[in-house]
Amino acid sequence: MSDLRVLLDGEPLPAREAALFWSRFSAWMEAHPSDLAGFARSEGLASVFPEVHAGGPVLVASRTASQRPYAVAPKRQGKGR
C-alpha cells in the first residue's frame, strides 16, 4: 500500500500514515458504501475525496473544505497536487 498517498490540507502524509489512513478508508467504505462524509467525521475531518493524480490514487482530506457527494474520482496532472 506504499503507493497510496494522502494529502491532508495540501500536505502529503508520511507513507506509513498514508497506508494506515487508506486501510481505515477501505474498511469504512466496505462497511458503509459511498459514505465519504461519515469517514471524514470518523477521522475528525470536514471532508475526504478520492482523486487520481498522475495515474495514482490519492485521498484528498481537509479539516475545512466541505464534503462533496461520492462521484468518479477526478484525474489531476502532476505529482500529488
pLDDT tens digits for range 44-73: 999 999 998 888 999 999 999 999 877 665
Tell me, what's the pLDDT at 23? 97
pLDDT tens, 31-48?
999 899 999 999 999 999
CA distances for 80 relative to 4, 24, 36, 44, 56, angstroms: 11, 20, 20, 22, 9
The DSSP letter of residue 55 is T
Domain chopping of the chain, boundaries: 5-69
How many angstroms separate the CA atoms of 55 and 36, rounded? 21
pLDDT bracket for residue 22 (50, 70, 90)? very high
CA dihedral 16, 22, 24, 26 (to 10 degrees): -150
